[in-house]
Each structure stands twice: as structure tokens, then as C-alpha cells.
A and B are shown apart, each in its own frame.
Chain A
Amino acid sequence: MPGTSPPSPLEPNRVVPLSTFLNLTFTGLVVGAIYGLFALGYTLVYGVLRLINFAHSEVFMWGSFAAVWMMTLLNARAGSGGPAAVLYLLLALLAAMAVSGAVALLVERVAYRRLREKKSPPLVALISAIGASFMLSEIMGLRDRIAGWLNLDGVLGDYVRPARENTQFVNPLPNATLLDVGGFQVRSTQLIVLVAALAMMIALEQFVRRSRLGRGVRAVSQDAEAAALMGVDQKRVVQLTFLLGGLMAGAAALLYLMHIGVTRYNVGFILGIKAFTAAVLGGIGNIRGALLGGLVLGLAENYGSQLFGSAWKDVVSFLLLVVVLLFRPTGLLGESLGKARA
């Protein structure tokens, strides 16, 4: 019976009103910007080391938990608003970026440095990173048990439980509707996420393009040997690359939480593959490509879930990854970090 029930987002609906289309486009861009920010970690590391940082997904996941814990620590209430809310969010952003950056440096130290010095084949480095990724994700998933061992369960109760279920993020900012034109809605959170993600990316791009350290990164990615001869400390550059990727993943984690609202110990896996897809789609190693790839992926995913039902959303993005790798493995903008200079 038509008209009796509102169109469920779970069911495919082929006749789409314009407002739905606009909503899909807008939320697609919001999610896509988060993917792009997350994808920077893959792109930067690939640009410098020519390796896929498989553990980057867990860097993101740890950042998301840092943000959640910061809110628990601050005892934030959902939608309380006011200047305190802005302060809380900034503190959560700092916590997420700090933890993600630290985890990224840890991954570099533990999973990559030795192999890089030995010049191991890429598959060995990938296996090493898979091992690191497993450990990071499972340690988070077993954090209640670990706290129990350390007899800290009573102290850390709110932080460690439930370890294997979704953990809710408390967003102190109210989610107001800023614009509502015939069903097309823009919510404040969405707008903040989109703007913040774009701002972070522009900041990073400028850093890599203009700063002395950024020049080192570009030099190593263009020609590692020549850079070493010119006095660029390769070890520092690699660390910096991981750190930058980690910081961006931490920011992406907070924005993701503001948009989606929950995280869990294995959230990184699927999101990581999507961010990697975004990186490859735009051209891995290319900073602007990561943004473009993220936006395209976000849109494709949203349109795809409208066409086939939202259960097929992940399938759409995986298929997109496969198709891109097959037909245009260098991505939309081509892969090169070295040529990031405009």
C-alpha cells in the first residue's frame, strides 16, 4: 500500500525526490571528507616508504577511544552546549590527535623501522603491519580483561566496559538544524565536520608544501637516495610522516564520532579499507588526491546505498576499490607526493 509507511532507508527506492538526492550528496561529502582525512595516513606513508601501512586503521581506532575517554573524564553531558562544549570538543580533539600520533609512532618503531633498515620486501612489511594491527585492535577489545589483571577494574570501570560492544560518544554540542529547504537539511554537526576536515587537510597540504620539514618529506618521496645525499635525515622524515598521518587520523576519529556517535575495538578495519580505497582512488601518495578520493567514495557509497539498499553500502565501496585498482591503479590524480608542489 503506497503512502502508508514512510520510505525506509533500508529499502531501495528508485524514484528519489530532489531533497533526498541533495541530502545524500551532502552527507556523502561529509563522510567523504572524514575518509579523506583518514586516508592521508595511507597516502603519506605510501608516498615516502612505498608501503601500505595496514596498521593505520588501528591508529584511527585508538584515537576514537581517546576522544570518548576524554569526554568521560570531563563528565560531559550530551547537547549541553555553551562555551564549555566547544572547550570539551577541543580537548577531545587534542586527546585523539595525541593518542593517534603516539600510536602511529609506535607502529613505525615496532613494525617498520627494523624492516626498513634491512630493506625487506614489501610483503614482509605488510605481514608485520598486519600483526601490529591485530595486536592493537585486540588489546582494545580485551581492555576489560587487561584492567582486571592489573586490578584496575574498579578505577577504570567506565573506560574499559563493555570492551567488545559499541561505545557511545557523548557530543556536548547540540545538533541544530541550520537549514531546511523542502526536506533538504543541513545540521550543525555535519557542517562542523565538513569544514573542520577540509581545514585540517588544507593545513596539512600547506605544511607539506611550504615548511622545511614538509620539503624533507617531499624530497624523500621523490628520491630517497638523493635526499639522503643532500643531508635529509631519512629516519626523522619517516617518523614525521607517520606522525602526520596519525595526527590526521586522530582528527578524523573525532569528526567520525561527532558524525556517527559510536566506536568499537574493530571499527578500524572496514573504515581503514575505505580510507585506503579513498587514497588509491585519488592516487596514493597524492595529498589532494586523498581528499578527492574520499569525497568521490563518500558520494558513491551514499548513492549506492540508495540504489541497492544500505546493507550493500560496504559492498559498493569494496567493488569500487577493486574496479579502481584494475582499471586505473594510479588513481584519479596520479600517484606522487613529490609533485604535490603546485
Chain B
Amino acid sequence: MSTSTTSTTSPKPERRTLGERWADLPKPVKIVVWLAVALFFYALPLLNPPLLSTPESDFGSVMFTVASYALVALGLNIVLGYAGLLDLGYVGFYAIGAYTVGVFGSLHGSLPFWLLIVLAVCISTASGLLLGAPTLRVRGDYLAIVTLGFGEIIRLVALNSEWLNQSRGIQDIPRPPDITIGGEPVFEVPRLLWDGLTATVDLGNTSAFLEFGLLDGVPYYWLALSVIILVLLGDVLLQDSRVGRAWEATREDEEAAELNGVPTFRYKLLAFAMGAFIGGLSGALFAARQGAINPETFTVQLSMLFLAAVVVGGQGNRWGALVGAAVVAYLPERFREFADFRVVVFGLLLLLLANFRPQGLLPPRRARRAQRAGKRLAELEGTEEGARA
């Protein structure tokens, strides 16, 4: 009691937002909280909580889908949110990642899995550079249409090319190799079984750590979640760096940025390549989980759903992108009976958001800060005008 009163009698009793309070916490506390959050997300598919769990499909697999959308959304967020480039063909990179794994892992080769992932990432990044180098010079809305064309070309090439097995697609894509100790999994984690609101531990139904079977989606989810965490770490470092500031400057006013010595084209290309990198990685993981891919997976609709994830969440905010991805991937699985209507719903959502909340559900912190600064500036100008009058 007494401590709290002393803290409230600090010189300026100003209401602080949650974000500011969080920023003031000591670093070890923050790290502990982050670890707890990460642990919660690792455990989520095993906790299998009622209401949240999907009754009609395996919750672990659904969580993997959510995670792969989240990864894609993080990548697209760099392109769209940080650098302000509207990429409508993002699914193209996703497809390139998936097809690289399929082609060199099953159709025309049998490279080891981890090498496939590296190769997929390299090829999709290279394709991002190849596409970006000429196209990033065109105007913003033209870029959107060029990328839309690119995404469609990738799909049509996969559909028509004999070498890529046309509409039959690719089967028997290698799964990630199991890591076991003497044939036994490293450890197994049981799940909870819910009956109403009481939970029991179901020892007969376990998920094996680092054992990638056909049925259990949980190990793939863990893999994807680990990748997301790595990407998030890189994302945080990158956004706070010189590169992140250059992107922000380019997005807000390209000419001003150029005049201030930011080589905007190079930074846009970098954003494009980073986006392609993450898109390819995510497509490769998707292919490894599915085991089979075909061109119909990679339609423009998927591209639009990725876009919806980023726009709904809030362009430029990585947490917003994650929330948006969860919304886009999870809701149709949870409410299966409405799954057919998801495109209508996302169309409506895009329309409403663009009209009434263009910054998205969770706008990035800079935008909020900029809003506040703008308001203050308007107030100042208002008083000045009032003084003059």
C-alpha cells in the first residue's frame, strides 16, 4: 500500500499507457515474461484448451497452419509495412520455396532436407532480387499490378511446365529428418484431455519432440514457431537499425529520403529480398508438412489472404501482422461451417479497414507517435493562429 502511494506521488502524476509501463520494466523481468509467453505458445496445441481448440480438425495441424501464415505475414510486413511496397504476388515466393523443396527433394533429386531449405531460401531470395531490380523503379500502384502478374506467372508456369509435373503437382516431398536417441524420441509430451472444464493428462496421446510423423502436426508447429521466433529476433534488430529507419523514411516520403542521402532503391530492393527470403522459407516448411503440392495451392486468393493478414493486423507492426495472420488462418478453421465465406468476410474487412481504420487493428508504435505529434502540432498551430487573431 505505502509503496504504491509513494509511486503515485511522483512529480508528474500522468496516466501511462500499458506500453510505457512495459517499457519501464527492468530487463530481466521482460526476458522472463517473454520466455513465459514463448513457453505458452509452445505448449498451446498440447493444452488443447476448450473453446479455442478446433473441434473438426486436428488442433496441432491448425496451429501449424496459423504459424505458417504468421511467418508469411512477418515477411510481407517487411515489404508492405516497413518499406511501403504493395506486393500482390507474394504467393509467388511462397510457391518458389515450396516447389524448390518438391523439385530437388522428390521430383528431380533427393537432397537432404536441411540443404533443401537452404536452397529454397536462396532461390526465392534470388527471384526476389531478379523481380525487384527492374520493377521497383515503377510507381507504387503499378508495382502492385506487376507483382500480381508475377504471382500469376509463377502459378501458370508450374501449371504448364512438363518439368514441374503440371497440374499433377509433386508428391512424396521429404519430411524433416527425425532426431532421436537410439531410435527413441528425445522426449515426449502428453496432452491434456478436456471434459467440460476439467482437464486430465492423456498419457496415451503424446507428441514426440523432433519426430516428424505424418499425422501429428505438433512437431511441425514447434519447428515453425522456432523459425518465427528467430525471424522475430532478426526483425526487431533490423527495424531498430539504420536499415529500418531508412525503410521508414522511404515509405513516408521517398523524395525527401533520397535528398537526405538514403539510397532508396537499394533499401527497397533489400526489403523485397528479405520478404522473398521469408516467403520462400515459409513455403518450404509448408511443402515439408504437406508432403504434396500442386499449382492450385498457390492462387492469387492466397496472396490476398496474406495481404489481408498484414492489413488487418496493422501494416508495420510485427505483432499486428502475427495477430492478423492468426485471424486469417484460425477463424475459418474454428468456424468450419463458415469457411466458404471467408473470402467474402475478408473482402468486407479490407473494405471497412481501408475506409475507417487504414492503419489496421494494431497500428505500429511510430504511427501512434506520429499521430500524437501531429495532434500536438495542430494544437500549437491553432493557438498561434488564435494569438494572431
Contacts and interface: CB of A to CB of B under 8 A. Distances in A.
A132 B152 contact: no
A126 interface: yes
Contact of B144 (A111, A126, A314): A126
Interface stretch (B61-69, B131-139, B254-262): B131-139
B349 interface: yes
Interface stretch (B217-225, B279-287, B350-358, B374-382): B350-358
Contact of A273 (B86, B137, B152, B340): B152
Contacts of B344: 134-135, 138-139, 142
B149 interface: yes
A128 B351 contact: yes
B86 A322 contact: no
Interface residues of A, number: 41
B150 A123 contact: no
Interface stretch (B153-161, B177-185, B191-199, B269-277): B153-161
A312 interface: yes
A336 interface: no
Contacts of B135: 322, 325-326
Interface in B341-366: 341, 343-344, 346-355, 358
Interface string B140-155: 1110111011101100
A69 interface: no
Interface in A312-336: 312, 314-315, 318-319, 321-322, 325-326, 329
Contacts of B351: 110-111, 128, 131-132, 135
A124 B160 contact: no
Contact of B139 (A110, A273, A321, A329): A329
B95 interface: no
Contacts of A270: 152
Contact of A134 (B157, B304, B355): B304
A169 interface: no
B149 A133 contact: no
A192 interface: no
A289 to B, nearest CB: 16
B309 interface: no
A88 interface: no
B311 interface: yes
A315 B347 contact: no
Given A128-B355, A138-B343, A142-B341, A321 B311 contact: no
A86 interface: no
Contacts of B153: 315, 318-319
Contacts of A201: none
Contacts of B152: 270, 273, 314, 318
Interface of B: 84, 86, 88, 134-135, 137-142, 144-146, 148-150, 152-153, 156-157, 159-160, 300, 304, 307, 311, 340-341, 343-344, 346-355, 358
Interface of A: 51-52, 110-111, 114-115, 120, 122-128, 130-135, 138-139, 142, 145, 269-270, 273, 276, 280, 309, 311-312, 314-315, 318-319, 321-322, 325-326, 329
12 contacts: A126-B86, A127-B354, A131-B349, A138-B341, A142-B340, A142-B344, A145-B340, A269-B300, A273-B145, A322-B150, A326-B138, A329-B142
Given A114-B355, A130-B307, 16 more contacts: A52-B141, A115-B354, A120-B358, A124-B354, A133-B347, A138-B343, A139-B344, A142-B341, A312-B156, A315-B156, A318-B150, A318-B156, A321-B145, A322-B150, A325-B135, A325-B142
